[in-house]
Amino acid sequence: MVSFFTALNELSDTIQQALQNRTPHLNGEKYLTNREVCQLLRISSRTLQNWRDTGKIQYIRLKGKILYKESEIFIFL
């Protein structure tokens, strides 16, 4: 019986990790977070904020979270 609860806890941990690492999709479009865009473009978060502020890069704000369309990031490149 103990192994059942151990397996259940491991499954719960795996699901929580998958939910934290997921990338939101909307209408078939993949959206990236600040961290993902910074890693992809190899820039700092301050540079990314500057690009947002000056209109160099498009973004959306959804419930206080800033997201970027993956397709637009590749066009920007």
**54 lies in some domain:** yes
CATH code: domain of residue 50: 1.10.1660
Domain holding 56, by residue range, is 25-77
**15 lies in some domain:** no
Whole-Å CA distances, 61 to 54, 58, 69, 71: 16, 10, 11, 17
For residue 2, the model assigns a pLDDT of: 61
**41 lies in some domain:** yes
Query: Which residues make Cβ contacts (< 8 Å) with residue 35, sequence separation at least 6?
Result: 45
**77 lies in some domain:** yes
pTM (two decimals): 0.65
Domains held by the chain: number: 1
Residues β-bridged to residue 30: 25
Cβ neighbourhood burial of 48 (10 Å; 0-12, 13-18, 19+): buried
Strand, coil or helix: 13: helix
Low-confidence ranges of the chain (pLDDT < 50): none
**8 lies in some domain:** no
For residue 25, the model assigns a pLDDT of: 66
User: Which of 24, 50, 27 is CA-nearest to residue 38?
Assistant: 50
